[in-house]
Amino acid sequence: MSSTITEKVKNRVVSVTVNRKPVDLPDKHVTGRVIKESAIAQGVAIGLDFQLSEKKGAKFHPVADTDTITVQNGDEFRAVTGEDNS
């Protein structure tokens, strides 16, 4: 039974990029905070206080820590300090 559960968990992993670095997320439904925590745990040089944005088309749209979003493999995110308005 546990191997089936493990396989299901592995199948849920979604690979995205944060600041051009690969990050694996635990599920396709995640909060902005989970994205930042996952990125930090995987070596991306950001802080929990950074503003997270999701790339949609040619623009980036803010994602709050409490926002739950659906992610797909290949989605792109940017995390910047509050002072960076780029």
**Residue where the block lists tokens 């659906």:** 70
pLDDT, tens digit, for every residue of 9-32? 456 899 999 999 999 999 999 999
Residue 86 has pLDDT above 90, yes or no: no
d(CA 73, CA 86): 25
> DSSP of 17-56, one letter per residue?
EETTEEEEES-SEEEHHHHHHHHHHTT----TTSEEEEEE
Asked if 42 and 64 count as a contact pair (C-beta separation under 8 A), the reply is: no
pLDDT tens digits, one per residue of 36-46:
999 999 999 99
Domain extent listing, the chain: 2-80
What is the CATH number assigned to the segment(s) 2-80? 3.10.20
Global pTM reads: 0.83
Distance CA 68, CA 13 (A): 16
